[in-house]
Amino acid sequence: MSRTHLLRLASLFYAAGLIAAPLYGADKPAAKPAAKATAKADKAPAKPAVTPTMADVAYGSHPKQVIDFYKADSKTPTPLVFYIHGGGWRGGSKNSMSPQTYLDAGISVVSVEYRFVQEAGDVTPPVKAPLHDAARALQFVRSKAAEWNIDKTRIGATGGSAGACSSLWLAFHDDLADPKSDDPVARESTRLLCAAVQGAQTTLDPQQIREWMPNGTYGAHAFYPSGADRKTAAFDQYLAEREKLLPWIAEYSPYALVSAGDPPVALYYNGPPAMGQPTKDPTHSANYGLPLQEKCKSVGVDCQLIYPKSPGDKPETPYAYLIEKLTGKKQ
């Protein structure tokens, strides 16, 4: 893999919140290389290099239910990239989005803010808050298609870590549109044309996580309340109580939702899978990616697994993948 390829991948992992500092700023190379990957990087996001066309547009009543919209210059309706930031559903910011590459390709961009699990209140399970916020934001954007010059049939999702999991949840979940609703936003579709994600957790099933990587510890916060007065369950409790959580796993785990007819997806990781082996970064391991690819293949859904030196001729970045899928033009 060329040095340019590696630099571009590192820059993308930064935008997803997977590394602590970018190799690139908005358009210029940085002087120093990025730090080691960390899931906490999204807590201090860089400011976007591009000013949103519209900032903090409300799609709900909660202060966190807002989006930034970046409008591509076009006389005809544009495709849209729908970005969901990472941070474990407990941190991060929509300001971590870098939209310029998409704008240059004639693609508009929305960056989504959402309620964190510790802000879910009485929402059960907690992960329903960020996931359904993402779905509602997508419906809201579609409701603005004519006003914002968007082609609502060409929307692709992207994000890193928890934002990647949210993107895959949207990609695989049945349409949440309610055609009979009095709310015109609720009548809009939640389906995607495609998704390209980085460092995705593809399952919230603790048994699968431990089978795929013995040192996996992610996911309890999705189903157990957390906050100043409520301690998130440890992974061992999460695993021990799996049986009673199965209905929620079936509803909120991307792997469980895959079915024929789902849109194509691309999974980007910073290393190859080593199934059944402990990994250096079990939160963002490609051990999450290979089983999802295999399940997608079993039902005829296109799923590309991409990491440094992965075999085959594949789009080397999520940018390239989404631009090709949304516009039909290769980068």
Q: Helix/strand/coil (H, E, C) string of the chain?
A: CCHHHHHHHHHHHHHCCCECCCCECCCCECCCCCCCECCCHHHCCCCCCCCCCEEEEECCCCCCCEEEEECCCCCCCEEEEEEECCCCCCCCCHHHCCCHHHHHCCCEEEEECCCCHHHCCCCCCCCHHHHHHHHHHHHHHHHCHHHHCEEEEEEEEEEECHHHHHHHHHHHCCCCCCCCCCCCCCCCCCCCCEEEEECCCCCCCHHHHHHHCCCCCCCHHHHCCCECCECCCCHHHHHHCHHHHHHHHHHHCHHHHCCCCCCCEEEECCCCCCCCCCCCCCCCCHHHHHHHHHHHHHCCCCEEEECCCCCCCCCCCHHHHHHHHHHCCCC
What is the rounded average pLDDT for all residues in the chain? 87
**Residue 227: band (very low, low, confident or very high) from pLDDT cuts 50, 70, 90:** low
Tokens of 303: 């799923």
Q: Is the pLDDT of residue 147 over 50?
A: yes
Q: Which of 135, 146, 205 is nearest to 176 (CA)?
A: 135
Q: What percent of the chain is modeled with pLDDT above 90? A: 79
Q: What's the confidence (pLDDT) of residue 49?
A: 74
Domain 3-327: homologous superfamily in CATH: Alpha/Beta hydrolase fold, catalytic domain (3.40.50.1820)
178-203 per-position pLDDT tens digit = 999 999 999 999 999 999 999 999 99
Give dist(CA 53, CA 152) in Å, integer.
Answer: 18
State the residue for tokens 């080397």: 316
Q: What's the confidence (pLDDT) of residue 213?
A: 97
45-89 per-position pLDDT tens digit = 444 579 999 999 999 999 999 999 999 999 999 999 999 999 999
Q: How far is CA 43 from CA 67, 260, 306, 323, in A?
A: 18, 37, 26, 28
Please tell me the pTM assigned to this model: 0.86
Sketch the domain layout of the chain as residue ranges. 3-327
